[in-house]
Amino acid sequence: MKSFACILAFCISSALIGQIDFSYCAISKDKKAITVLFCLEEGWESGYVSYASGNGIINIESAGYELDFQPVGRPGAFDYFFDECIDGVITGRYSIYIQGANIYSFRYENYRNGQKFDFEETHHDSFCHCQGLR
């Protein structure tokens, strides 16, 4: 089933290239050691991911967020969700749990096969740069 949001995000992102507002480079915690670069454009409504073992980018679109808790005098803790869109179809979801500048979890769920991957931050110098991918 094609998602209107995914189709619209693809059309907009193809026409306009936004400034990168947030990026996160991560490696999976399993034996596969998958490296992914997660790039969000201004406003966090859309962005893209790129895999070190792949070629090209995959568009992502915001699927919302949830406030987990709001401690007094501290930044709130949020769970952000981003749908992976390939050819106008939602094929997976990324979730990232953030409080202030701290990232506590980053996860991907593949909707085609049900696999889930947990990631942790990495600094793979030759790969972890959003500029020039589009």
The structural domains of the chain, ordered by start, are: 4-121 (2.40.160)
**Strands 58-69 vs 35-41: parallel, antiparallel or unpaired:** unpaired
pTM for the structure as a whole: 0.82
The residue-averaged pLDDT of 129-133 equals 75
- DSSP result, 65-89: EEEEE--TTSPPEEEEEEEEEETTE
Q: How confident is the model at residue 130 (pLDDT cuts 50, 70, 90)?
A: confident
Indicate if the pLDDT at residue 127 is higher than 70: yes
| DSSP structure class, residue 98 | E
> What's the rounded mean pLDDT across residues 69-86?
94
Check whether 3 has a pLDDT greater than 60: no
Reported as a single tens digit per residue, the pLDDT across 7-48 is 444 434 443 456 888 899 999 998 888 999 999 998 889 999
CA nearest to 84, candidates 126, 122, 54, 120: 54
Cα–Cα distance, 52 to 109 (Å, whole number): 18
- Show the beta-strand stretches assigned E in 12-76: 20-28, 35-41, 46-51, 58-69
